[in-house]
């Protein structure tokens, strides 16, 4: 237990510079955007007095270095500022109301990906070179080649409009989660299928597999108890890295299915030119990606204690 705590502390030390870089880049976002964010938010009819008043209220009339220190102070205190469109709305409060929906969608997409990839990858790997292996490869290729903005509307047309089996948009129950989750998980399942297949083929050639078979274990026990467990390490790596990709992909999926998550909030904030809210959304997505990678590192140790987390 002590070793795990020390490893976590070391890993957090390496994460801190990344967090600093992310916060700094997010802060600079509002200053490198062409034009005046406050003028853009208030509109062309805003007077100079109104612009100056809002800038003073938001602290945007201070020197850049002072604004940077104030932004860091706010981040450390959990204060990401207020909305440009409606200064009464706190950015963090708006993000926290949408964040659970995005995490729910990302986890559902991850679940769909694993649910499809593991049986397909194992079946393809244990039938290398056969027709079922070729079929799984074609399915994986189709999944990788079909972007979410094509698959999403296609699934809406087939399952919601033509067959009338599932709702089109919103978040009012588990049935509303199916189409967006499958849309997000399809491409990832294609990548995972190929990885699971490669891992299974590689592990089947190891000595411990022959030993397990010699002990009289069934082929199913050999595959799912031994081969798949040892072959999951590279798959977990991809899952951890792709979780951040799912968060980014959630932006498109949430817009297509009107899912009230962080991705849709980001698009709405961009359209409204609400740059503090855009800053907060990007920062939250980036920090979630960093945390997901950190958890992935420690998942290695659960799968194989011989791996040292440094």
Q: CA 151 to CA 143: how far, in whole Å?
A: 9
Report the 3 state secondary structure along 96-123: HHHHHHHHHHHHHHHHHHHHHHHHHHHH
Residue length of the chain? 310
The verdict on pTM exceeding 0.75 is yes
**Range 27-31, long-range pairs (CB < 8 A, 24+ positions):** 27/67, 27/68, 27/71, 27/72, 27/279, 29/275, 29/278, 29/279, 29/282, 30/275, 30/276, 30/279, 31/64
Does the structure show a pLDDT above 60 at 233? yes
Sign of the alpha-carbon torsion through 79, 82, 87, 90? negative
pLDDT at residue 257, rounded to an integer: 92
Nearest to 186 by CA among 133, 144, 157: 144
Query: Between 305 and 33, where is the model more confident?
Result: 33
Could you tell me if 128 and 232 are in contact, meaning their C-beta atoms sit under 8 angstroms apart?
no
Residue 158 DSSP one-character state: I
Could you tell me if 191 and 239 are in contact, meaning their C-beta atoms sit under 8 angstroms apart?
no
Average pLDDT of span 231-247: 74
Write down the mean pLDDT value for the chain. 82
Read off the pLDDT band of 104 (50, 70, 90). very high
pLDDT at residue 260, rounded to an integer: 92
Read off the pLDDT band of 309 (50, 70, 90). very low
Query: 16-29: per-residue pLDDT in tens?
Result: 888 888 888 888 87
Residue 68 DSSP one-character state: H
Does the structure show a pLDDT above 60 at 34? yes
Sign of the alpha-carbon torsion through 133, 138, 143, 145? positive
Query: 52-68: per-residue pLDDT in tens?
Result: 887 887 788 888 888 88
pLDDT at residue 1, rounded to an integer: 57
Architecture of domain 99-303: Orthogonal Bundle (1.10)
Read off the pLDDT band of 2 (50, 70, 90). low
Query: Between 207 and 161, where is the model more confident?
Result: 161
Domain extent listing, the chain = 2-91, 99-303
Does the structure show a pLDDT above 60 at 308? no
Nearest to 92 by CA among 280, 266, 289: 280
Could you tell me if 273 and 37 are in contact, meaning their C-beta atoms sit under 8 angstroms apart?
yes
State the CB neighbour count (10 A cutoff) for residue 113: 27
pLDDT at residue 180, rounded to an integer: 93
Query: Between 245 and 132, where is the model more confident?
Result: 132
Instruction: State what percent of residues in the chain have pLDDT above 70.
Output: 93
Nearest to 265 by CA among 105, 110, 146, 42: 105
């Amino acid at each position: 237990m002590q070793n795990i705590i020390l490893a976590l502390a070391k890993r957090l030390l390496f994460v801190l510079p990344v967090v600093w870089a992310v916060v700094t880049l997010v802060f600079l976002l509002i200053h490198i955007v062409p034009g005046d964010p406050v003028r853009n938010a208030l509109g062309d009819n805003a007077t100079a007095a109104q612009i100056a008043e809002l800038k003073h209220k938001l602290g945007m009339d201070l020197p850049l270095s002072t604004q940077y220190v104030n932004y860091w102070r706010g981040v450390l205190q959990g204060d990401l500022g207020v909305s440009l469109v409606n200064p009464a709305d706190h950015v963090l409060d708006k993000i926290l109301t949408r964040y659970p929906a995005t995490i729910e969608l990302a986890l559902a997409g991850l679940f769909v990906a694993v649910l499809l990839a593991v049986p397909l990858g194992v079946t393809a790997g244990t039938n290398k070179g056969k027709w079922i292996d070729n079929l799984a490869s074609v399915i994986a290729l189709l999944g990788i080649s079909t972007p979410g903005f094509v698959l999403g509307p296609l699934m809406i047309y087939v399952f919601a409009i033509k067959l009338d089996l599932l709702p089109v948009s919103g978040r009012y129950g588990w049935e509303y989660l199916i189409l967006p989750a499958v849309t997000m998980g399809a491409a990832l399942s294609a990548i995972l299928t190929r990885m699971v297949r490669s891992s299974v083929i590689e592990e089947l050639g190891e000595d411990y597999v022959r030993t397990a078979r010699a002990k009289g274990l069934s082929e199913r026990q050999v595959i799912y108890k031994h081969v798949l467990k040892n072959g999951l390490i590279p798959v977990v790596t991809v899952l951890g890295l792709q979780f951040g990709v799912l968060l980014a992909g959630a932006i498109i999926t949430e817009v297509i299915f009107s899912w009230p998550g962080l991705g849709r909030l980001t698009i709405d904030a961009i359209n409204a030119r609400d740059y503090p809210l855009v800053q907060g959304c990007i920062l939250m997505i980036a920090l979630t990606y960093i945390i997901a990678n950190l958890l992935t590192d420690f998942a290695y140790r659960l799968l194989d204690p011989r791996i040292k987390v440094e």
